[in-house]
Amino acid sequence: MKLDGPPRRIALVTDFGNGPYTGQMHLALSALAEGVSIVSLVSDLVPFRPDLAGFLLPGLMQRMPSPTLYLCVVDPGVGSAREVLAARVGDDWLLGPDNGLLVPSIRREPGAQVYRVRWRPETLSDSFHGRDLFAPIAAMMTGGELPDALLVDLADLHGADWPMMLSKVCYVDAYGNLISGLWADAIPRHTRFEIDGFELGFARTFCEVSPGTPFWYQNAFGLLEIAANQTRADRLLALAPGHALPF
């Protein structure tokens, strides 16, 4: 299948962490998609949690350049019969496993088109599909070709029954700030809630509260984030990825 307006760059979105896996992805893609910009957007997503990564991903895509291919690998089902998906969302593309990871981003684009990719390479390891399967497909897509793909309905995808937002901690950044799967615009600014004995209200930014004070705000991705001025909110509030939030 020929792509109209193929992606010009590849953004890697993974739970690989530090180690050789992101590096091997970069190296493989540099040969397969020579001349295409490859950026590791995030490599420390919560391991084995496509649900948490999925609700963070739409925020990560905000204000980013198009057309970009987001190559997303949070894939605890690697080596199983799980399918491979490619989706056009606006001017961008998503590529990843059919485990719910792509669903929140697909649903935000009313005209999204979703495909099951049936192409497989001659040699495929059992445990590193990021390098052996997703990277070659991504390279072909930047070249204007989506190989052996079948259009499917959103309702047929794993995770199609997930909520529109996720009231959980999806990611903790290097400062201990807690990023949720909630769009901040959906929460009234007067909302206050209690966590671990602290009452949190809205503040526009860190300098509007005293040092050590926890609060919630709309972060640069548009998501609701819980932070504490000059303090790690995760330790202060005893919260970690996957913890539910009181909304």
Query: Over the stretch 83-135, which tens digit does the pLDDT of each residue have?
Result: 999 999 999 999 999 999 999 999 999 999 999 999 999 999 999 999 999 99
- Report pLDDT digits (tens) over 165-212: 999 999 999 999 999 999 999 999 999 999 999 999 999 999 999 999
Name the residue ranges covered by the structural domains of the chain. 9-156, 166-237
Angle formed by the axes of helices 20-32 and 135-142, nearest 10°:
40
- Report pLDDT digits (tens) over 130-170: 999 999 999 999 999 999 999 999 999 999 999 999 999 99
Q: What is the mean pLDDT of the chain?
A: 97
Separation between Cα atoms, residue 55 and residue 103, nearest integer Å: 9
- Report pLDDT digits (tens) over 57-81: 999 999 999 999 999 999 999 999 8
Please report, as a single letter, which amino acid is at residue 30: S
Kindly list the distances between the CA atom of residue 187 and the CA atoms of 41, 84, 238, 246, in Å, as whole numbers in the listed order.
Answer: 27, 34, 23, 12
- Report pLDDT digits (tens) over 15-39: 999 999 999 999 999 999 999 999 9
Q: Are strands 92-97 and 68-73 parallel, antiparallel or unpaired?
A: parallel
pLDDT of residue 186: 97
SS3 of 142, please? helix
- From the CB of residue 220, how many other CB atoms can be counted at a distance below 10 Å? 9
Range list of H helices, the chain: 20-32, 50-60, 103-107, 129, 135-142, 233-237
pLDDT of residue 247: 80
| pTM value surpassing 0.85 | yes
The CATH number given to 9-156 is: 3.40.50.10790
Q: Which fold has domain 166-237?
A: Elongation Factor Tu (Ef-tu); domain 3 (2.40.30)
